[in-house]
Amino acid sequence: MSSECYLGVDDKKLKRKISNRESAKRSRMKKEQHMKDLNDQIFHYTKKRDEMIMKIDGIAKGYTAMETENMVLKSQKQELEKRLEYAENVCVIYEGESHVSMLSMGGAQEPWLRLWDQNQPSNFMSLMSSVGNFQF
């Protein structure tokens, strides 16, 4: 009987070895699949990050362009307000409704303000064409 006991123990050991090998193989396959899934996620999120970076760069460039355009428009607005103020003062003087001195207007240094100066050819037309240079 002692030899039969050993055969039963050997069978149990063999079955246990086979079971352990299969379990280890399943574990390795599970680990391999998990690593593949992680690498797929890395690829996916890297791609998403790159897309977001490109969008952010595009938005930043658009913002910079808008800021630049805004500065230009503010400058044009200030220039047009200044020209309007001078033109209103010239109109007041021309219509004779006020005794505003030319010195209070800064001496009317701009040629387009000297509408009464006969030596200045077509001042009114140059005023109108210079206003047309601004883009609205």
Token output for 105? 């207007």
CA distances from 13 to 7, 55, 103 (A): 10, 62, 115
Q: In which band, very low, low, confident or very high, does the pLDDT at 98 lie, cut at 50, 70 and 90?
A: very low
73: nearest Cα among 134, 1, 11? 134
- Average model confidence (pLDDT) across the chain: 80
| Distance of alpha carbon 25 from alpha carbon 4, whole angstroms | 31
Q: Which two structure tokens, joined as six digits, stand for 50?
A: 């790159």
- Domain boundaries in the chain? 2-131
pLDDT tens sequence across 13-56: 999 999 999 999 999 999 999 999 999 999 999 999 999 999 99
Task: Report the pLDDT value the prediction gives residue 130, as an integer from 0 to 100.
Answer: 53
